């Protein structure tokens, strides 16, 4: 294999060659292993916790999107960052990467329904209206599960990014610097976070971008301490209070952990609320015989159950809680992107333009200064 040149024949085509469709599972595994070995330290493969097993087994690192992006950026010897996650995660890796690194998303159609719910133009309209009404300043906060364009918008407007682990600290910072916080794009994480900080539900208003003036009156905007963008995760929103009741009935004594992207009533009923990293830590430290019902994506729950056979780990509801867009990253796509790199061709590169990258970086750096 010749040396791989960065940026050679970079392609944005997202068309899996027929050849890969016909390979057996065993052949795919073998091809991926060989391509990875040929690339050696020049590639780093990142696997998000929600990624399917047949892909994540090839990951050098497993984690959430911020942790993975930072790990990859620190792997200076890696020219190529292959992100087995969704589009906004690959964008975050591209924002944080070292200058010489190239980020690849094996299937460019692997988007995130939540990130796609906050369009930059819609956010600009909301911003103008809310700033017009608020006399004491508005500070925007965006969840890391948002597009680079939204992160850049927030960076440019003196706001910060947050993660599910540090949303409380970032929101407290925002409210200390302005009369109101604008939280994008997950209504549930915003509400759960603000409520935990002692902000009552009637001091929050939901801005629906599909309605004139977000569906709010000027008085409702004026009264709100926190404006929540009407967006959600299609996976986590499916968990319902009745699922918790059922789990507690079927497994007396079971502990329920909900991800903060779940609805407010679900988080209120759960024993613990926390990020993927907190969920993993709780189960790992739970000890033999402990029982866990988990409200998050099914691949992480199943993996935790497999890795902890001496405890009971179940999904709060295993019906439909699969991140179908992340599932698009298949072994076929991973194989194709790696073999293309071996041949000196970059397929499915994710590249954020310089201006967007610069401002998104400002919003990310601000978060790191706050937490
Ligand atoms: S689980 Fe939800 S928020 Fe996470 S990538 Fe999938 S759709 Fe987006």
Region 93-105: mean pLDDT is 97
Beta partners for residue 227, in sequence order: 182, 205
Closest C-alpha to ligand 1, atom 8: 112
Closest atom of ligand 1 to CA, residue 89: 5
Q: Tell me which of 68, 112, 184 to substitute to probe ligand 1's pocket, judged by most ligand atoms within 8 Å of the beta carbon.
A: 112
Fold of 236-315: Rossmann fold (3.40.50)
Q: Give the DSSP letter of residue 109.
A: T
Select from 281, 284, 327, 278 the least CA-distant residue to 306.
284
Q: What whole-number distance in Å separates Cα of residue 108 and Cα of residue 128?
A: 32
Q: Is the pLDDT of residue 6 over 50?
A: no
b/e code 113-150 from CB counts within 10 Å (16+ = b):
bbbbbbeeebbeebbebbbebbeeebbbbbbbbbbbbb
Fold match, 115-234 / 236-315 = yes
User: What CATH class has 18-111+325-352?
Assistant: alpha beta
Q: How many CB atoms lie within 10 A of CB 38?
A: 17
Ligand 1: centre distance to CA 182 (Å): 21
Residue whose entry in the numeric block shows the structure tokens 């024993």: 271
Select from 156, 88, 95 the least CA-distant residue to 118.
88
Which residues surround ligand 1 with Cβ inside 6 Å?
A: 50, 86, 112-114, 145, 233-235, 297, 323, 325-326
Query: How confident is the model at residue 130, as a pLDDT?
Result: 97
Ligand 1: centre distance to CA 237 (Å): 10
Q: Is the pLDDT of residue 2 over 60?
A: no
Q: Is the pLDDT of residue 182 over 70?
A: yes
Closest C-alpha to ligand 1, atom 2: 233
Could you report the per-residue pLDDT of 293-342, keeping only the tens digit for each? 999 999 999 999 999 999 999 999 977 799 999 999 999 999 999 999 99
Region 40-56: mean pLDDT is 97
Query: How confident is the model at residue 200, as a pLDDT?
Result: 98
Written as six digits, the tokens of 222 are 């004026």
User: What CATH class has 115-234?
Assistant: alpha beta
Strand order in the sheet with 204-207: 160-162, 138-143, 180-184, 226-229, 204-207
Q: Could you tell me what percent of the chain has a pLDDT over 90?
A: 94
- What are the distances in angstroms from CA 283 to CA 14, 248, 253, 256, 287? 38, 17, 15, 11, 8
Beta partners for residue 184, in sequence order: 142
What is the pLDDT confidence band of residue 14, given thresholds at 50, 70 and 90? Answer: low
Ligand 1: centre distance to CA 142 (Å): 15
Cβ contacts of residue 155 below 8 Å, gap of 6+?
A: 359, 360, 361, 362, 363, 364, 366
Positive/negative CA dihedral, 217, 218, 219, 223: positive
Closest atom of ligand 1 to CA, residue 325: 6
Could you report the per-residue pLDDT of 186-234, keeping only the tens digit for each? 999 999 999 999 999 999 999 999 999 999 999 999 999 999 999 999 9
Query: How confident is the model at residue 9, as a pLDDT?
Result: 41
Q: Give the DSSP letter of residue 11.
A: B
Closest C-alpha to ligand 1, atom 5: 112
Q: How many helices (H) and strands (E) does the chain have?
A: 17, 13
* Domain range annotation of the chain: 18-111+325-352, 115-234, 236-315
Ligand 1: centre distance to CA 2 (Å): 38
Could you report the per-residue pLDDT of 355-370, keeping only the tens digit for each? 999 999 999 999 999 9
């Amino acid at each position: 294999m010749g040396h791989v040149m960065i940026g050679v024949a970079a392609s944005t085509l997202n068309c899996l060659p027929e050849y890969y469709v016909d390979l057996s599972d065993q052949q795919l595994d073998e091809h991926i292993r060989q391509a990875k070995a040929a690339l050696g330290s020049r590639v780093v493969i990142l696997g998000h916790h929600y990624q399917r097993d047949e892909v994540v087994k090839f990951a050098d690192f497993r984690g959430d999107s911020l942790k993975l992006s930072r790990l990859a950026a620190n792997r200076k010897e890696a020219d190529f960052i292959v992100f087995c996650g969704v589009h906004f995660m690959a964008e975050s890796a591209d924002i944080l990467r070292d200058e010489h690194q190239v980020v690849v998303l094996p299937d460019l159609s692997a988007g995130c329904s939540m990130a796609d719910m906050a369009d930059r133009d819609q956010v600009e309209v909301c911003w103008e209206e809310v700033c017009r009404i608020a006399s004491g300043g508005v500070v925007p906060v965006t969840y890391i599960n948002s597009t680079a364009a939204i992160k850049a918008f927030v960076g440019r407007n003196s706001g910060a990014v947050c993660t599910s682990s540090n949303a409380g600290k970032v929101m407290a910072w925002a409210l200390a610097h302005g009369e109101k916080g604008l939280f994008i794009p997950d209504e549930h994480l915003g509400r759960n976070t603000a409520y935990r900080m002692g902000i009552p539900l009637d001091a929050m208003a939901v801005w629906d971008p599909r309605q004139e003036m977000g569906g709010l009156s000027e008085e409702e905007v004026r009264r709100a301490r926190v404006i929540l963008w009407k967006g959600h995760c299609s996976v986590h929103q499916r968990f319902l209070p009745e699922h918790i009741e059922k789990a507690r009935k079927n497994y007396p004594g079971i502990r329920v952990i909900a991800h903060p992207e779940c609805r407010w009533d679900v988080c209120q009923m759960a024993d613990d609320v926390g990020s993927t990293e907190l969920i993993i830590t709780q189960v790992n430290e739970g000890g033999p015989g402990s029982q866990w019902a988990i409200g998050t994506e099914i691949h992480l729950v199943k993996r935790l159950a497999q890795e902890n056979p001496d405890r009971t780990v179940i999904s709060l509801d295993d019906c439909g809680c699969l991140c179908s867009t992340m599932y698009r990253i298949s072994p076929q796509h991973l194989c194709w992107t790696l073999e293309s790199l071996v041949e000196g061709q970059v397929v499915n590169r994710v590249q954020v333009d310089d201006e967007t990258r610069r401002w998104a970086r400002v919003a990310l750096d601000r978060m790191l200064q706050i937490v």
